[in-house]
Amino acid sequence: MKNILVPCDFSKASEQALRFAIEIAALSQGEVTVLHVINLTPDYIQTLETNPYYVDSMSILAELKRQAASDFNELKQKVDTGNVPVKLAIEQGLISHAILKSIHQHNADVVVMATNGASGLSEILVGSNTEKIVRSSPVPVFAIHKHQKAEQIKNIIFPTTIELNKGALIEKVKALQAFFNARLYLLHVKTPESRQKDHELKMALENFARFYDLENYLAVIKQAKTEEEGIIRFARQLEFSIIAMSTHGHTGLTHFMLGSIAENVVNHCPEAVWTYSAPEA
């Protein structure tokens, strides 16, 4: 996690995401790119029909870029960057498109983004933008609700089914576990529709761990009305934790590695959520 991309609207929420990104970069000796997206359409283009005068959109864009640079400098005064290189990138267009484009342009290893920004990022992780960023991102995405110190992360909650088809995902989770030197909790949420017994599921999780050569882990079975409820409840009980989830899955009552569940957890869990769109293998 050396090249870290942080979409930023200079809100308090995105400031917290930036702090988390800087802490990760300090641990990895990496660097942070703060991405600010300018979208002229909502604020200006819609007013042109009622404006009889020509609006110089290039002047508007230049002014917004100057304002972004000023806001960035002000943000750096608030956030201790230490020895971490932090640079500003400005893109124009739709937020989701600009982020996906910037991931490739800046060779980002991970995206760190706020989920409750006051003036724009609040919409990034909901609706169609969720699919475009969380599901479509070629790199893992950290969703941050509050300031959470990276150095204090000791536990990774990994909600999973018991199928042995997650090779690419497991490799990413192993790397995440090694980075934080954390304990891995293999969590299976048993809903009322499940017909499997707890001891059968526990044995299946142990086989899952052996199959993928997992270390420093604990297999956990929890019962809840929904998978989302079980994941969030367990996360709230476990201090110094983050959640790692796949955004790829199948429909069906016995499968909960679905994009919709990941979205719900991202939007409602107070802990940081790491997501990765991994193909089954």
Say yes or no: 138 and 193 in one domain.
Answer: no
Condensed to tens digits (0 to 9), the pLDDT of residues 68-115 reads 999 999 999 999 999 999 999 999 888 888 999 999 999 999 999 887
Provide the pLDDT confidence category of residue 161 given band limits of 50, 70 and 90.
confident
- Residue 55 CA to residue 208 CA, distance in Å, equals 61
- Determine, yes or no, domain membership for 281: no
- Determine, yes or no, domain membership for 90: yes
Query: What residues make up the domain containing 20?
Result: 3-144
Say yes or no: 263 and 174 in one domain.
Answer: yes
Given 123, 144, 165, which residue is the final one in a domain? Answer: 144
Number of domains into which the chain is organized? 2
Round the average pLDDT of the chain to a whole number and report it.
83
Residue-level pLDDT at 264 = 77
- Determine, yes or no, domain membership for 183: yes
pTM: 0.84
- Determine, yes or no, domain membership for 55: yes
Residue-level pLDDT at 279 = 64
Whichever domain contains 175, its CATH number is 3.40.50.620
Residue 140 has pLDDT above 80, yes or no: yes
Provide the pLDDT confidence category of residue 118 given band limits of 50, 70 and 90.
very low
Say yes or no: 66 and 49 in one domain.
Answer: yes
Given 99, 122, 144, which residue is the final one in a domain? Answer: 144
Say yes or no: 135 and 240 in one domain.
Answer: no
- Give me the mean pLDDT over the 197-225 stretch: 94
Residue 235 has pLDDT above 70, yes or no: yes
Say yes or no: 49 and 168 in one domain.
Answer: no
Residue 227 has pLDDT above 70, yes or no: yes
Higher pLDDT among residues 6 and 58, named by residue: 6
